[in-house]
Structure 1
Amino acid sequence: MIPTAYIRNFIVLSSLAMLLGGCQHFASEHPVEVRQTVTEQRPDGCKGENCPLVNIDSLTFADEPELNRLIDARLRRMTLNGPDDRLPESLQSYQQRFLSTAEPGWSSYLQAKLRDQHRNILVVELSSYLYVGGAHGMPGRGFINYDSKRDSELRLEDLLIPGQEGNFWRTARQAHQRWLVENEHDQDAAFLEFWPFQQTANVALLKDSVLLKYDVYSIAPYSSGHPELFIPHEQLKGILKPEYL
């Protein structure tokens, strides 16, 4: 069975998209126009709750072709589920391929949403959820930190002052310790031993903090979902480049 929380999340966002008329505007110095497109397909002629489905909830930014290309490429990469999987040429071809081989109850969700915007930085969060049988499906997460002034993606090494990567991850460990306390894991010796701190590639440059988001089974069990660690900007002075604070 697909966890109710994941289904609810996609339904709420789809409903919100219709209420907004397909457009989003973040209040900022440089507001952008972004159109949200939601499609859901099932095999032709299939009816009932057990029909396989592919739900794609994506964004198209006005005047940002490079960001649109990145979103498409990253969502297509999130469809890979095994070493033998081929990267689909398009999301539409992925829909067709998945539905042509899917068994009853299988489902695939892909989503891009605007998580934050400040100055010329757009932060897009990418989500996936694939269920192909078993007790539960596998979710995935990722971020695109996009500098609209430079028309390029910002990676962690672009944000850090040279030589400060070690200090960044030491500060992240402190955020992890706060997360352990908030979730009452700090006194659980078995938890601490089995789920130690790790680095993550999922880094988001938010307006007032840096967010680290973890995949399931990384620093906590599946039931914990995707843990989020927040590092306030004031703790990153001398680590993050001044223009990003």
Structure 2
Amino acid sequence: MSFLKIISLACVALILGACQSLFQPNLRSPLTVQRDASELIKPGCTTDDCPLVNIDTVHFPDEPKLDEIVQRTLLQLTRSDSDGPVPPTLKAYQEQYLSRAPARNSSYLQAKVREQHDGIVVVELSSYVDSGSGQGNPGRAFINYSRQQQRVLTLADMLVPGQEAAFWDKARLAHQAWLISSKLDKDTEFQNMWAFKQTSNIALTYGAVILKYPVTTIAPYAMGHIELKIPYPQLNGIIKPELFPGRS
């Protein structure tokens, strides 16, 4: 092969590589996030205790698929039971809730980007329904969205095959560390009443894998949503290596 032909092929490869990079998302650059906040009071109500719906969410102009996932997950948090119907849109939920809510009742929905790193967008979602009794019903959820795969990662997607039991063993150690830091490690009565449990709320944050618990799951309501943190070095061989921050 002649020298000129080699140079020509090299140039073609460089051009093709440059073109390919133009059409692939730059995973090192965070997605653009637009906040969308609104509060709607029950139509016709003029008193100080009008029912209301407060929605504070985010949009991703460059990732409409993630937009749809965030809205759908927020709507799932509005259900009073896991088998209940889900409103088709957030606007429909506002109208439906306000048409039925008595005075002093309110509903709050929030979605916020907790972190973006290595092509992973971690969205934290919150809900709170206040029935006027002073102790509302709060909910939480996480979305771990892979920009490269264009989908939400489940725990099964995160784990090396066959390592689920090992993952929950590490979670139990994180729970024990939380008990110690909260000075509850010697409280046998507390531990018997609020034993360790698994949770589906798992986030691949940059500093650690976080497990977040609904209220009254592993601690009393007054202690709120407990977070357990598992450092990545403890998860070698358990979490898929490409999901470790900085390795992708």
> TM tier, shorter chain?
0.7 to 0.9
Quote how far apart the aligned CAs of 1:84 are: 7.2
TM-score by length of 2: 0.85
**Deviation string, structure 1 residues 155-197 (Cα, Å, up to 9, x no partner):** 1100100000000000000000010111111111110000000
Show the counterpart of 2:37: 38
Show the counterpart of 1:238: 237
Which amino acid in structure 1 is aligned with residue 125 of structure 2?
Answer: L
Q: CA separation in 2, counterparts of 1:42 and 1:101?
A: 12
Q: CA separation in 2, counterparts of 1:179 and 1:48?
A: 45
Show the counterpart of 1:130: 129
Quote how far apart the aligned CAs of 1:119 are: 1.5
Quote how far apart the aligned CAs of 1:62 are: 1.9
Q: 1:112 to 1:185 in 2, by over 3 A?
A: same
Q: CA separation in 2, counterparts of 1:128 and 1:191?
A: 27
Kept after mapping to 1: 8 A contact 2:199/2:212: yes
Identity %: 47
Q: 1:33 to 1:182 in 2, by over 3 A?
A: same
Moved more, 85-94 or 227-236: 85-94
For structure 2, the residue ranges without an aligned partner over 5 or more in a row are: 1-26
Report the count of equivalent residues: 218
Q: CA separation in 2, counterparts of 1:238 and 1:226?
A: 29
Secondary structure of 2:230's counterpart equals strand
Q: 1:83 to 1:118 in 2, by over 3 A?
A: closer
**Deviation string, structure 1 residues 31-77 (Cα, Å, up to 9, x no partner):** 21110000100012323431111001111112111111110110111
Secondary structure of 1:124's counterpart equals strand
Kept after mapping to 1: 8 A contact 2:30/2:117: no
Show the counterpart of 1:204: 203
Show the counterpart of 1:71: 70
Which amino acid in structure 1 is aligned with residue 74 of structure 2?
Answer: L
Moved more, 157-166 or 59-68: 59-68
Which amino acid in structure 2 is aligned with residue 181 of structure 1?
Answer: I
Moved more, 99-108 or 75-84: 75-84
Which amino acid in structure 2 is aligned with residue 137 of structure 1?
Answer: G
Show the counterpart of 2:170: 171
Secondary structure of 1:62's counterpart equals coil
Stretches (4+) displaced over 3 A: 82-85
Q: CA separation in 1, counterparts of 2:226 and 2:194?
A: 12
Q: CA separation in 2, counterparts of 1:148 and 1:138?
A: 32
Q: CA separation in 2, counterparts of 1:144 and 1:119?
A: 15
Show the counterpart of 1:162: 161
Q: CA separation in 2, counterparts of 1:84 and 1:170?
A: 31
Q: CA separation in 2, counterparts of 1:188 and 1:227?
A: 17
Q: CA separation in 2, counterparts of 1:191 and 1:81?
A: 28
Which amino acid in structure 1 is aligned with residue 199 of structure 2?
Answer: T
Which amino acid in structure 1 is aligned with residue 138 of structure 2?
Answer: P
Show the counterpart of 1:147: 146
Q: CA separation in 2, counterparts of 1:105 and 1:65?
A: 36
Secondary structure of 1:149's counterpart equals coil
Secondary structure of 2:112's counterpart equals strand
